[in-house]
Amino acid sequence: MAILERAKALIAAQRPQDALTAYKIGWDDTVAHGDHLGASTIAHMAGVAEPDLAAKLEWNERALGEADAEPDRAGMEPLYPSLYNNLAVSHALLGDRVAALRYLRLARDRLGSLEPGPYADRVREAILKRLTELEAEQQGR
């Protein structure tokens, strides 16, 4: 958690490259210790901060891979809507609308795993909005 706080502070200080370096160090450490939840969380946040679209996709794929590797499935379920949403955003930004739709549908299907509250409301709204937009775009083709 200290690495997440440090990276967050670096981003707030307009030092995104330093934040990404901190995420990379945290990623290496958590992976080395087999901490799938920690690695998934770090990769998820690095994917948000990463400006390079290909690297953003890679971080988001790492986040999902670590979530999938965690044996405590119940503890990971609430992360999936956001993980899939970020993958969808990465694919959409790279022009792969088919993959974006696939991940948004997976995100939508996992919305029930979120605890009710403001965070769940924001995630749900973002997913459903993007999904509606992409589906409308696909139908208009």
Residue 96 backbone phi and psi in degrees, to 5? -95, 85
Residue 140 has pLDDT above 90, yes or no: no
Contact in structure between 97 and 134 (CB atoms under 8 Å): yes
Domain ranges of the chain: 1-71, 77-141
Give the total residue count for the chain: 141
Across the chain, what does the average pLDDT equal? Answer: 95
Model confidence, pTM: 0.92
Return the closest-CA partner of residue 93 out of 124, 66, 59. Answer: 59
Query: How far apart are alpha carbons 27 and 65 in whole angstroms?
Result: 13
Token look-up 């999938």 returns 68
Q: What is the pLDDT of residue 141?
A: 65
| pLDDT score of 98 | 95
* Whether the Cβ atoms of residue 49 and residue 83 lie closer than 8 Å to each other: no
CA separation, residue 111 to residues 18, 26, 119, 137 (Å): 33, 28, 11, 23
Two structure tokens written together for 121 = 């409301």
pLDDT in tens, 74-120: 889 999 999 999 999 999 999 999 999 999 999 999 999 999 999 99
Distance of alpha carbon 119 from the chain centroid? 14
